[in-house]
Structure 1
Amino acid sequence: MKISVDLTLSPLQNDYETHVISFIKTLRASKFTVLENPLSTQIYGDFDALMPFLTEAIKTSFEGTDIAVLTMKIVKTDRSDYEPHF
């Protein structure tokens, strides 16, 4: 099954940008489709392949920060081709 995942990483420390950039680079280096905007990053793929990848990427990111909040929304469909119609 195809899914779309919206992620927002918020490290609660002064050097937050370094951690956010590192996390996004990890997502970009994957085999999955990744789209970014100023507020979040979206990644698209097959559930069975994407979720283990995200688990490892999030764990690695969390290990490199003191305190972090990750907001994640999962939609059960591939929305990577979404275009607004207004």
Structure 2
Amino acid sequence: MNISVELTYSPLRDTYENEIIRFIKALRASGLKVLENPMSTQIYGPYDRVMDVLNREMKASLEAVDQGVFFLKMVKTDRSDYEPHF
């Protein structure tokens, strides 16, 4: 089963950029399809693989900061090829 995940990470501290950059680079290195924009990051792939990577990298990020928030949406399908039809 393939999934699509949209994720926003907000470390709750003034110096947040380094941890966000580390997190995104780790996602890129995972071999999953990763798309980014200024508001969020999208990850696409097999459920077990995506969840393994997110579990490991979210834990590492939360351990690296005092406080942080992840906002996550998940869809049971690979939406990486979506193109508007209008």
- Using the size of structure 2 for normalisation, the TM-score is 0.95
Gaps of 5+ in 1: none
Gaps of 5+ in 2: none
Question: Offset at 1:85?
Answer: 2.2
Segments of 4+ in structure 1 off by > 4 A? none
Correspondence for 1:28: 28
Q: Give the aligned residue type for 2:41.
A: T
Q: Give the aligned residue type for 1:3.
A: I
Q: Give the aligned residue type for 1:13.
A: R
Percent of paired sites with the same residue:
59
**How many residues matched?**
86
Q: Give the aligned residue type for 1:78.
A: D
Q: What are the within-5 Å matches in structure 2 for residues 1-86 of structure 1? A: 1-86=1-86
**Residue deviations 1:19-74 (CA, integer Å, cap 9, x gap):** 11111111111110000111000000000221111100100111101100000110
Over aligned residues, Cα RMSD in angstroms? 0.8
